[in-house]
Structure 1
Amino acid sequence: RPGALPVDLDLHDVVAVGTRRAVEVWLETTTDPRTRADEVAELSDREVRTLVGLLDPTTAEHLLASLEPHAAAEILHVVPAPVAAGLVASLDPDEAAELLRVTPDGERAALLAAMPVTRSATVRGLLAWPDDAAAAHMNPEVATVRATMTVGEAVDALRAQPDSATEGGGEVYVTAPVEGGVGEALLGVVTFRDLVLAEPTVLVASLMRDDVVTVEPTADQERAARLLRDQRLAALPVVDDGLLLGVLSGDDVADIVEQETTEDAVRQGGAQPFDVPYLRASPLLLWRKRIVWMLVLFVTATMTSSVLQHYEDELDTVVALMFFVPLLIGAGGNAGTQITATVIRAMATGGVRLRDAGRVVRKELSTGLLVAVTIAAAGWLRAWTSGVGGEVAITVAVAAGAIIVWSSLIASVLPLLLRRVGVDPAVGSGPLITTLVDATGLIIYFTVARVFISALGA
């Protein structure tokens, strides 16, 4: 029809059209957050300012909430502080806090100062918590009612509360004022369904359930996420000394789990996590996050060359031993990496705790023995068919089995040991375990060779 907008608008088209309806059409048709972020990144500063001028509170919240915080922060950076503060204020408090965490300190202070006083105070409260604390990710706007209210009064009270206060996953929290008027004490919880189905004159107290699962504000975000998942909760209230501070929703937990999983994956690769998306990370930042562990692993790897130098005479006497060095240390490293990946994941999901160390070691040693026998047989067959002689073949077989068992022991103990001393166990997998097994595996190999090869003086 005349004046109708095409459904395949990109953001450049939206800015060129210059209407709020164009923004709404683009948001309706461009639903992928990554596509939105890419199109925002392609805009010039002038186009970003034009786009911001076309946003209303609803479309501003819709756009910013769908973008990764660093992408949203780039929008704030090119508009005046009062305008940027208005955009941040359109978000729920927890989303606003996540966005402000990635903005430079100076910009953050200016934005907080320009925001409405009440919203600024709420967001400042969230920013005061450590980044990895449960309270840093909660929404402090919680749907609450009083136990002394009737159902009719409670429904009226809920209607008067902001939309973000309904993030209880179908539940409403029953609270009572505390002496001095600072905060609300959590008494229990009642479901929206019970409120809807009950008679208007029924008291909320008669519908309330008081066995509420809660988490303290300083709890590690990963533990809070695991608690919500394990208890199959729709939301998790954050409570400090009986006072209800906020609630963690399923969306919050999904973000936490994704963040923790990403950090573990990066650490398992022998690097430090970085706070920006990969495509936004500069080569210098990637270098800084990787180089420390690269140097540590490089120095540690010199143990391997030192071991080879120490056994130089054995290699000169039986050159065939050198042929199987990559095979044996590779098998040991692979076995160790498999175990650490399994154990670390089990630790991350709460399936393994420090008190389970004995069970983990027994399980992995038993499995390691089975793997060792299989690999030893394969190693003997490979050496025998290579024509290196019976003594070298049996050496390879025995050494392969011993290295697998040794690797199983080290890999099952190391993550638990690191957790015990307060180090993230993810750093004990991958490159580190491989490097350790390489050096110790060579010692095992040449020790076995001295026993089984007559030319080495056994």
Structure 2
Amino acid sequence: MSESVDFQALVERLQDRDWSALTESLPALQDRDLAALISELDAHLWEPLFRQIPTHRQADVFAYLSEDRQQTLVLSLLETDRITLLTALSYDDAAAVIAGLPESMGVETLATLSERDRWVIRSLLAYPEESAGRLMTPEFIALEADWTLAQALDHVRYTHEESETANSAFITDETGRLLGFVKLQDLLLGAADRRVSSLMRTDVISTPTRTDQEEVARIMRRYDLEVLPVVDEREILVGIITVDDVMDVAAEETTEDFLRMGSVGVGPIVLNLRNASANLLYRKRVGWLLILVVVNVFAGAAISVFETAIEAVVALVFFLPMVIATGGNAGTQASTLMVRSLATGDVQLRDWLPLWGKELAVSIALGATLGLAIWGAAAWLGGPEVGLAVAVAMSLVVVVGSMVGLLLPMILTRLNMDPATASAPLVTSIADVGGILVYFSVAIAILP
């Protein structure tokens, strides 16, 4: 935040409703600083603060706010102020806001916009959620290949305010089909009578409208793109996705993955811990915890099956928590690596066999090392046979946990489920049940 602005002084002016002094302070804050300030304040302060921001800046500040704060703010605005704000936003941002409104309010708000705005926003909302079509903006610069550079620059000057980005222009034919792109600096530096086609690059990377937003982020990251053109099934250019939109997607997807890996369900909104109610936090967490309780019931049932073995060799109980926890930890390590690799596109489902072989070799080596480490303590407390049983069980439990951690994310991906659902608690619970069965089965086989 700008160092020349006293944050506490701004808060005091808000609390005192000193609007004139507050208005004088706002020009010293950048749009992003204002958004950060709004994010730090309680609703009774940030709502009046937003209304004091000059109208021509509100849309830019609004774009930097979190999604939940955007929705809360829009719902608090008067209809005329809401319309003014939505009209100033880019089409993709306006579509996202309307999609988040209650259905009746969204329909009413959309009806108050201009005919062109209504048509564009409805066309964006027609695409699936979290798709390239919903993420893109239809505001871009399109040129024709047979134009001269002078004609092209005149067109850029005329349409640049309607474009999301002014770094690149895309070349289309008379039907709108994407042919290539050109850097605007090349247009500026080239001779005025040259044709756009002479500067056009045809190695353009595009994506269909129905591409998932995570895949869009991967494409832009892989090819280091500032802007990605979006085409329909006829290869007609219908919009572009800019790098700032992808940064928002990456942050959102990362948050969702962390929540899922912590067994916290996510719904239509991204969970904001500071602003979430206790009831919402309860509902987000209770479902998975109940599922994990059911899974762990099987762990208790597995122990009861081996009650006789436990009574015969009490020393087995001493090492049970250590062996089972180690298997769960090994599974968590494997699942974390796999979920991350699937999310970044480093591995595909077709890679499962070589990955399985590699993980099997690694887990055998890890299990043998850990088994050897625990053998001495087990032999000292329970005798050589107990030491052997615990060491072998440790080795096998580590292998079982690692296999669960590796394969569960792949199975979920194959079932079109988010692999992040293979969270640490879920992997650990499944590995616990398998580990208990392995531990006591080995003990019964080795011990007299």
Q: Which residue of 1 aligns with 2:263?
A: 270
Q: Structure 1 residues 101 and 34, CA, compared in 2 at 3 Å: closer, same or farther?
A: farther
CA RMSD of aligned residues (A): 2.2
Matched, 1:336 2:328: no
Change (3 A) 1:11 1:106: farther
Counterparts of 1:175 and 1:428 in 2: how far apart (Å)?
44
CA distance in 1, matches of 2:169, 2:322: 61
Following superposition, the deviation at residue 351 of structure 1 comes to: 0.6
Deviation at 1:185, TM superposition (A): 2.1
> 1:58, 1:235 → 2: CA distance?
25
Listed as ranges, the gaps of 5+ residues in structure 2 are none
**2:318, 2:383 → 1: CA distance?**
13
Alignment CA distance shift 1:325-1:314 (3 Å) = same
Contact 1:126 1:136 in 2 (8 A): yes
1:253 aligns with 2:255: no
The change in CA–CA distance for 1:63 and 1:266 in structure 2 (over 3 A counts) is same
CA 265–7 in structure 1, closer or farther in 2 if over 3 Å, else same? closer
Deviation at 1:388, TM superposition (A): 2.3
Q: What corresponds to 1:99 in structure 2?
A: 97
Aligned equivalents of 1:44 and 1:374: distance in 2? 57
| Deviation for aligned residue 1:218 | 0.5
Q: Which residue of 2 aligns with 1:28?
A: 30
Q: 1:83 to 1:33 in 2, by over 3 A?
A: closer
Give the Cα–Cα distance (whole angstroms) in 1 for the partners of residues 44 and 158 of structure 2: 41
The SS at the match of 1:356 is: helix
1:257-280 Cα offsets, whole Å, 9 max, x none, are 111111111111123113142323
Q: Provide the C-alpha distance between the structure 2 equivalents of 1:343 and 1:164, rounded to a whole number of angstroms.
A: 43
How many equivalent pairs are there? 439
Question: CA separation of 1:128/1:26 partners in 2, compared to 1, >3 Å: closer, same or farther?
Answer: farther
Aligned to 1:10: 10
Distance 1:265 1:193 in 2: 41
In the alignment, structure 1 residue 39 sits paired with structure 2 residue 41:
yes
Q: Which amino acid in the other structure matches residue 174 of structure 1?
A: I
What does 1:1-400 correspond to in 2, within 5 Å? 8=7, 9-10=9-10, 13=13, 16-18=18-20, 21-22=23-24, 24-25=26-27, 27-28=29-30, 31=33, 33-39=35-41, 41-43=43-45, 47=48, 51-52=50-51, 54-163=52-161, 165-167=163-165, 170-178=167-175, 184-240=176-232, 241-274=234-267, 275-276=269-270, 277-385=272-380, 387-400=381-394
Output the CA distance in 1 between the equivalents of 2:20 and 2:110: 29
Native 8 Å contact 1:142 1:167 kept in 2: yes
TM superposition score normalised by structure 1: 0.90
8 Å Cα contact 1:189-1:208 kept in structure 2: yes
TM-score by length of 2: 0.92
Q: Distance in 1 between matches of 2:22 and 2:122?
A: 31
Shift of 1:414: 1.6
Report SS of the residue matched to 1:210: coil
Distance in structure 2 (CA, Å) of the matches to 1:70 and 1:18: 29
2:403 matched residue in structure 1: 409
Letter in 2 for 1:253: V
For residues 90-137 of structure 1, the C-alpha deviation after alignment (integer angstroms, 9 at most, x for no partner) is 111122222233222222222222223322322222222222111111
Give, in angstroms, the shift of residue 194 of structure 1.
0.9
Cα shift at 1:337:
0.5
Counterpart-to-counterpart distance in 1, 2:289 and 2:261: 13
Name the CA distance, whole Å, in 2 between partners of 1:215 and 1:96: 22
CA contact (8 A) 1:140 1:245 kept: yes
**Separation of aligned partners in 2, 1:342 and 1:164:** 43
Q: Structure 2 residue aligned with 1:418, among 402, 412, 416? A: 412
Q: SS at the partner of 1:238?
A: strand
Which residue type is aligned with residue 259 of structure 1? E
Q: Aligned partners of 2:21 and 2:85: how far apart in 1? A: 18
CA-to-aligned-CA distance 1:56-95 (integer Å, 9 cap, x gap): 3421122211211221222222222121110121111122
Q: Does the Cα contact within 8 Å between 2:207 and 2:228 map onto a contact in 1?
A: yes
5+ residue gaps, structure 1 = 179-183
Q: Deviations over 1:342-395 (max 9, x none)?
A: 01100111111011000110111111111111110111133245x222221111
What is the distance in 1 between the residues matched to 2:5 and 2:446? 79
Change (3 A) 1:421 1:73: closer
8 Å Cα contact 1:167/1:247 also seen in 2: no
CA distance in 1, matches of 2:231, 2:46: 45
* Aligned 8 A contact 1:376 1:397 in 2: yes
Q: Distance in 2 between matches of 1:177 and 1:57?
A: 38
What is the alpha-carbon distance in structure 1 between the residues aligned to residue 207 and residue 444 of structure 2?
A: 59
Contact 2:38 2:46 in 1 (8 A): no
Comparing 35-44 with 134-143, greater Cα deviation is found at 35-44
After superposition, the Cα gap between the structure-2 partners of 1:220 and 1:426, relative to the gap in structure 1 and judged at 3 Å, is: same
One-letter identity of the residue aligned with 1:212: V
Counterpart position of 1:181: none
